[in-house]
Structure 1
Amino acid sequence: MRILFLSYWGLHDGLTTSTVFPHLRVLQNRADVSAVRLVTIERGPDAKTELNFDLGSSADKISFEPLRSKPSGNVILNKIEDFTRFPQELIRQAAEFKPDFILARGAPAGALAYLVWQKTKLPFYVESFEPHAAYMLESGVWRAYDPRYLFQRHWEKRQKQLAKGLMPVAENYRQQLIREGVPASRIVTVPCSVDAQAFAFDATAAQRVRQRLGYPASAVVGIYVGKFGDIYYDQEAFDLFRAAADYFGPDFRLIVLTPNNEADVRRKLQAVGLGPDQAFVTKAPHAEVPHYLSASDFAFSPIRPAPCRLFCSAIKIGEYWASGLPVLVTPGVGDDSAIIEAERGGAVFDLRQPGSVPAALARLAALMQQPDYRARIHELAVRHRSLTRVQEAYKQLLP
């Protein structure tokens, strides 16, 4: 097989590193795959610079050619230009590379794959298939009259009808797709997978990071990895950090790994009384994230509740679990909130319910008193987020 793998994110985006590269390695290891062409979408500075793709010497089947977005002061005009030009560029790449099909990562990439199908009838599959248009609408990022919402909603409908296979990230969404009439034989659930061993707890790294940050061994360390705003809480997240500090007392420390502006994040932390002696903020390379997770005791996942969140899969939760961290999460997040409650993988809080946060923190504290809690929670990542799920889905769906 020759596969054109289309990612909607850039080469240096954390989501590419954490979710695309592991899948490329799975394809590389298949004897029936002869070549893979990775296509990313580059925006901002990366759209103007030379990009070096390196997945290691063992990835000899994989080549790389990006699509480069042209800068524009108007984001809507920029996206319109992308979705008119990129399909033509992909058709050119397909004529050159001669893939058997396109494997698109995410519903926006699936939209581009569908637009190529319109012109060429090149088969396509969509993994990490989620209701992206609904996400953006319910998050307040798009409005119901926004052309991006209207087009994406239509393109998702066409993906459901025409894709050779869909790989939603939550079983909740697979069931919804079946109710909508998509044949069950064309759908396999593949949660955002993690390399559980790469993220496993490392006592040496934990001690090294704590010493560097000046955090004592007795400190109770919470960690948050990700953005603020959009589908995540913003000010509410900082209030949550404050609540954790109040609950755990003077021993509480916080690590925040975020792409958001560091000065702005520090200012918001300071506003809730968490200064640099208690809270560390940085933008860490993905390879360093496991070290910070090992240095922590529990993790935050403050995803803003919305009806379509039932259909998502946060990569950070899988990484947290792989490190053995119980997760403080909102209700209705993919399959994970239910797993957390049923299998003691953390605690669920609901800001709409008075007293929910301290009750959830108490459950976390009780979990952390169990001597084997990290090893037990690590097994949740092995069971629910293993790359084996990817391998099985590819075997079932791909030709």
Structure 2
Amino acid sequence: MPARNHSLSCFVTDAMRILFLSYWGLNDGLTTSTVFPHLRLLQERPDVEAIRLVTIERGAEAQAALTFAPGYATPKISFEPLRSKPGRNVILNKMEDFTRFPKELIRQAAEFRADFIIGRGAPAGALAYLVWQKTKLPFYVESFEPHADYMRESGVWKAYDPRYLFQRHWETRQKQLAQGLMPVAENYRRQLITEGVPARRIVTVPCSVDATAFAFDAAARQRVRQRLGYPGPEAMVGIYVGKFGDIYYDEEAFALFRAAADHFGPGFRLIVLTPQPEAEVRRKLAAVGLSAEQAFVTKAPHAEVADYLSAADFAFAPIRPAPCRLFCSAIKIGEYWASGLPVLVTPGVGDDSAIIEAEEGGAVFDVTRPGSVAAALARLSILLAVPDYRTRIHELALRHRSSARAREAYAALLPVGSAA
């Protein structure tokens, strides 16, 4: 194979060899839902020779034997993790990662003969930039968001936290040096242009979903409802998938569940799929008067989420508002829409809050405005009364969350040099 030129002005003429870096672990739900679909798109391209998936493993997973699932392994895709050292202060651990991992990535890139790196998310983009600093290996960043400001506005990081200061600097360098940026919201694409990033290097790619895999399944609906003992087809079921706290509401979310129960009456049931301890979630449910009979709580594998969505009638997205939230794309909203579920969402969530208001994809509530939750629930009731509402809302996923958006972005930005 001819020697590979990593000058920023060059075009790759060989079949491409891509090092794809996920900031999440191999078994993380975000890797399953957002990384694997993009690997499939890339491997379908005839000009892609090989892909090396690199994940970052922390905690117990960092010591585990990891196996790339047969359903995802192909002759084009190989896998090698980066393993974080366990048992240290989280800040020191992350800082150590950002000194050690670039060296390991440089080794991997040379061994794999990578033409460029695609980093999934701004933290992965930071590592890709640190590799570029030493090697000038070109890089792209997809799911590019202002991660540092997200973490600060959510109260996870302080303005003086070294993690915040370094990540913000690295995001600035990504804007300046990445071959291409793929923000998840059109709002952020416009913001990046105002900051001076050339428009030709930016393509918006919202977090895409497999609309077929998450499509409504009547048989799954009946099966799950029977298993959970719900009182016939008249039961009104709301569902929430995700965590509580940090960028999501906590106490406010449980108050919202209570308001929904009051609005829909005795037939209301709640499904909560969360990685957080069931006992902790049940204590909070009990505190707002929701019993074990009314609420089902579990940690479900991502492969089972679609069946639970089919069992529900609408969904909750209690995302804590913050200025940077305008630039995000919640994967859960795309999955809700794909199942045909109208969504109760807070204002200013990426492009989605505006889409929900303009295209009747649910209802927007603001806990700081008296009467807003009640009005949103009333609006939701109107949407739920429309015949075949699930089919219409499913189309929102097809329009706004199709993987075709990622395919178009790759076509516009790859190979190296086409966005320079």
TMscore range, shorter length: over 0.9
SS of residue matched to 2:48: coil
Distance 1:274 1:398 in 2: 51
How far apart are 1:28 and its partner, in Å?
1.3
Distance 1:310 1:197 in 2: 27
Which structure 1 residue ranges, 4+ long, deviate > 2 Å from structure 2?
A: 57-60
Distance 1:26 1:261 in 2: 35
How far apart are 1:275 and its partner, in Å?
1.1
Deviations 1:9-54 (A, max 9, x none): 0011110010001001111111111100000000011100110012
SS of residue matched to 1:200: coil
SS of residue matched to 2:45: coil
Instruction: Compute the TM-score of the two structures, normalised by the length of structure 1.
Output: 0.99
After superposition, where does 1:127-146 map in structure 2 within 5 Å? 127-146=142-161
**Aligned residue for 1:156?**
171
Across the two proteins, how many residue pairs are aligned to each other?
399
**Aligned residue for 2:8?**
none
**Correspondent of 2:112 among 81, 89, 97:** 97
How far apart are 1:56 and its partner, in Å?
1.8
After superposition, where does 1:172-187 map in structure 2 within 5 Å? 172-187=187-202
Distance 1:143 1:75 in 2: 14
**Aligned residue for 1:85?**
100
How far apart are 1:57 and its partner, in Å?
6.6
Deviations 1:102-155 (A, max 9, x none): 000000000000000000000000000000000000000000000000000000
**Aligned residue for 1:268?**
284
Deviations 1:43-102 (A, max 9, x none): 011100110012527732110000000013311100110000000000000110011100
1:357 aligns with 2:381: no
How far apart are 1:372 and its partner, in Å?
1.6
Given residue 74 of structure 1, which amino acid in structure 2 is its aligned partner? N
**Aligned residue for 1:334?**
350
**Correspondent of 2:261 among 245, 251, 263:** 245
1:203 aligns with 2:218: yes
Distance 1:60 1:375 in 2: 37
Deviations 1:203-257 (A, max 9, x none): 0000000000001211000000001000000111001000000100101000000
SS of residue matched to 1:158: helix
SS of residue matched to 2:265: helix
**Correspondent of 2:402 among 361, 369, 386:** 386
Q: Which runs of 5+ in 2 are unaligned?
A: 1-15, 416-420
Deviations 1:357-385 (A, max 9, x none): 01000011100000121000000000000
Contact kept? 2:258, 2:290, Cα under 8 Å: yes
Given residue 166 of structure 2, which amino acid in structure 1 is its aligned partner? F
**Aligned residue for 2:6?**
none
Contact kept? 2:36, 2:72, Cα under 8 Å: no
1:284 aligns with 2:320: no
SS of residue matched to 1:250: coil
**Aligned residue for 1:41?**
56
Given residue 160 of structure 1, which amino acid in structure 2 is its aligned partner? K
Distance 2:390 2:74 in 1: 33
Contact kept? 1:25, 1:59, Cα under 8 Å: no
Amino-acid identity (%): 82
Distance 1:59 1:221 in 2: 39
**Aligned residue for 1:256?**
272
**Aligned residue for 2:413?**
397
Instruction: Compute the TM-score of the two structures, normalised by the length of structure 2.
Output: 0.94
Q: Which runs of 5+ in 1 are unaligned?
A: none
Distance 2:300 2:45 in 1: 32
Query: Which stretch of structure 1 is more off in the superposition, 308-317 or 52-61?
Result: 52-61
RMSD (Å) for aligned C-alpha atoms: 0.8
Distance 1:320 1:39 in 2: 29
**Correspondent of 2:313 among 270, 274, 297:** 297
